[in-house]
Amino acid sequence: MSGSRAAIRYAKAVLSLATDQQSTDAVNSDMKLITSTIAESEDLSQMLQSPVVKASDKKAVLMEVFKTANVTTVNLIDTLIANKRLAILNDVAVSYTQLYDEMKGTQVATVTTAIPLSDDLKTKVLAKVKVLTGKDAEVTNVIDESIIGGFVLRVGDIQYNASISNKLNKLKREFTLN
């Protein structure tokens, strides 16, 4: 719990610094890259969490992996190393992206479907989210074949379930109650 609070504090500080330096977009790209790279690489994730690996080795690996990182991102990594908090780098990156989206007035709409969304459907979802929330959104498509068909749309705290499996479950409940 304290790790997530610390991550939010670091993310706010980096956002403030990036805003002053007018590099919020570049730093956001770095943070998304960090998040996706750590998620895709179990070895990198374990290395960041390991107390056995020296901080200098961790920095060398991160500088090699993120060669094109913005100066502000490199300074964040240096600060986390100096404060012995490099293990929360992923949490800081996630928090930064959320704060950045709030600042820009955008949000992430997660659409769960049985098959991948087409570009036409993605455009329709973005339009619907804009109507419902009044904000722009970025669509993330999650594929879950267990919903059979239809979709589940989640934006922030709002969830709309129009999946076939949900409708079948409702019918099942109605028949078992009567």
Cα separation, 111 vs 61, in Å, equals 35
18 and 89 share a domain?
A: yes
84 and 38 share a domain?
A: yes
Give me the pLDDT at residue 130, please: 84
94 and 119 share a domain?
A: no
136 and 155 share a domain?
A: yes
**Among the listed residues 177, 145, 175, the one whose alpha carbon sits nearest the alpha carbon of residue 163:** 145
Give me the pLDDT at residue 1, please: 41
77 and 134 share a domain?
A: no
Report the side by side order of strands in the sheet with 136-143: 136-143, 106-113, 150-155, 158-163
> Is a pLDDT exceeding 50 seen at residue 2?
no
19 and 86 share a domain?
A: yes
Nearest-Å Rg of the Cα atoms of the chain is 20
Give me the pLDDT at residue 80, please: 94
Rounded mean pLDDT, 81-107: 91
10 and 74 share a domain?
A: yes
Please state the domain count of the chain.
2
Residue with the two structure tokens 């750590």 = 38
75 and 111 share a domain?
A: no
Q: Which of 102, 126, 161 is the C-terminal boundary of a domain?
A: 102
pTM (two decimals): 0.70
- pLDDT digits 0-9 by tens, 6-53: 999 999 999 999 999 999 999 999 999 999 999 999 999 999 999 999
117 and 29 share a domain?
A: no
Q: What angle do CA 159, 162, 166 make, to 5 degrees?
A: 95
> Is a pLDDT exceeding 60 seen at residue 157?
yes
Q: What angle do CA 64, 14, 50 make, to 5 degrees?
A: 45
Domain holding 169, by residue range, is 106-177
Report the CATH number that the domain containing residue 98 is assigned in CATH: 1.10.520.20
71 and 25 share a domain?
A: yes
Cα separation, 26 vs 68, in Å, equals 10
